[in-house]
């Protein structure tokens, strides 16, 4: 099972992401041994570190842990390969440029028949690797591209959210569709269902696929800290999303088939898909 994490914050927050807890999910105590990646946004671009190796003994994980990186948007992923070999090009998050911005995408789940139906479709942005997730990202950007044709002005965030929500609804028909996507201006999230590790095997997909902690509504002091993550909270306007809650307080499981767009650490809109 893959693990997802994302943050949207009003201010650039000091983020010490040791990946300890995610490293456990990346091969130390769980069976996720296919790679990991993390993207930190800086305005229109993103600093991305990823590798197709287990996270728990990675020197790159230790490197990230030692950096006092600041960001308003973070997307992280720990992979269990289901479609595509455990290679760098198949490791999430994925990034592409559109409208003079870097767009970042990560997915948990499997989308059946996507390559059969769209693998030969001419796209402006083609996948580098073999995953259904990266192909889905390219299809999403194909839908987003008309909104970004006028590069002098950013398209309205609710128009972008409408495209994202319709895309997520279409993907849900193909399998579990837990998506994290950002264009550096807003964070788009879709929660569906996911498999859970049970004994020596895995469960059938079931909700929740993601949980959210809204730090506008909670008072957590000057920082949020748990295994694998410490965020210096410059204010209380932050939203955290994770495949599984990172601690025992303040997390809300998201319903199956819900899309959310967040900006400046606050939810702007939500709809069912």
Distance CA 171, CA 167 (A): 6
Q: pTM here? A: 0.89
Query: What does the block give as tokens for 170?
Result: 């279409």
**Model pLDDT, residue 167:** 98
141-172: pLDDT as tens digits: 999 999 998 767 889 999 999 999 999 999 99
- pLDDT band of residue 261 (cuts 50, 70, 90) is very high
Domains and their CATH numbers in the chain: 3-272 (3.60.20.10)
Q: Which whole number is the average pLDDT over 29-53? A: 81
**Model pLDDT, residue 27:** 41
Residue 181 has pLDDT above 50, yes or no: yes
Ranked by mean pLDDT, the top range of 15-24, 92-101, 117-126, 238-247 is 92-101
103-147: pLDDT as tens digits: 999 999 999 999 999 988 989 899 999 999 999 999 999 999 999
% of residues, the chain, pLDDT over 90: 49
Query: What does the block give as tokens for 260?
Result: 């959310």
- pLDDT band of residue 233 (cuts 50, 70, 90) is low
Query: What does the block give as tokens for 59?
Result: 């020197």
Distance CA 35, CA 8 (A): 24
**Model pLDDT, residue 135:** 97
Report the SS3 class of residue 49. Answer: strand
**Model pLDDT, residue 26:** 41
């Amino acid at each position: 099972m893959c693990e997802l994490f994302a943050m949207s914050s009003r201010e650039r927050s000091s983020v010490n992401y040791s990946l300890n807890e995610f490293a456990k999910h990346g091969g130390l105590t769980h069976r996720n041994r296919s790679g990991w990646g993390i993207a930190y946004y800086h305005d229109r671009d993103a600093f991305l570190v990823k590798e197709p190796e287990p996270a728990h003994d990675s020197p790159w994980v230790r490197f990230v842990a030692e950096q006092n990186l600041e960001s308003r948007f973070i997307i992280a992923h720990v992979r269990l390969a289901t479609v595509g070999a455990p290679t760098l090009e198949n490791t999430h998050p994925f990034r592409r440029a559109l409208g003079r911005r870097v767009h970042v995408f990560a997915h948990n789940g499997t989308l059946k028949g996507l390559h059969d139906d769209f693998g030969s479709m001419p796209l402006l942005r083609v996948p580098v690797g073999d995953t259904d997730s990266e192909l889905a990202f390219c299809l999403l950007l194909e839908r987003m591209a008309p909104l970004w044709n006028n590069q002098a002005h950013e398209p309205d965030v609710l128009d972008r959210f409408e495209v994202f929500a319709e895309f997520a609804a279409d993907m849900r028909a193909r399998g579990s569709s837990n998506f994290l996507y950002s264009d550096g201006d807003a964070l788009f999230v879709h929660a569906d269902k996911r498999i859970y590790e049970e004994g020596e095997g895995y469960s059938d997909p079931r909700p929740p696929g993601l949980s959210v902690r809204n730090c506008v509504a909670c008072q957590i002091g000057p920082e949020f800290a748990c295994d694998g993550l410490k965020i210096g909270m410059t204010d209380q306007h932050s939203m955290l999303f994770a495949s599984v809650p990172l601690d025992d307080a303040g997390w809300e499981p998201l319903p199956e088939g819900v899309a959310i767009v967040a900006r400046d650490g606050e939810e702007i809109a939500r709809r069912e898909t």
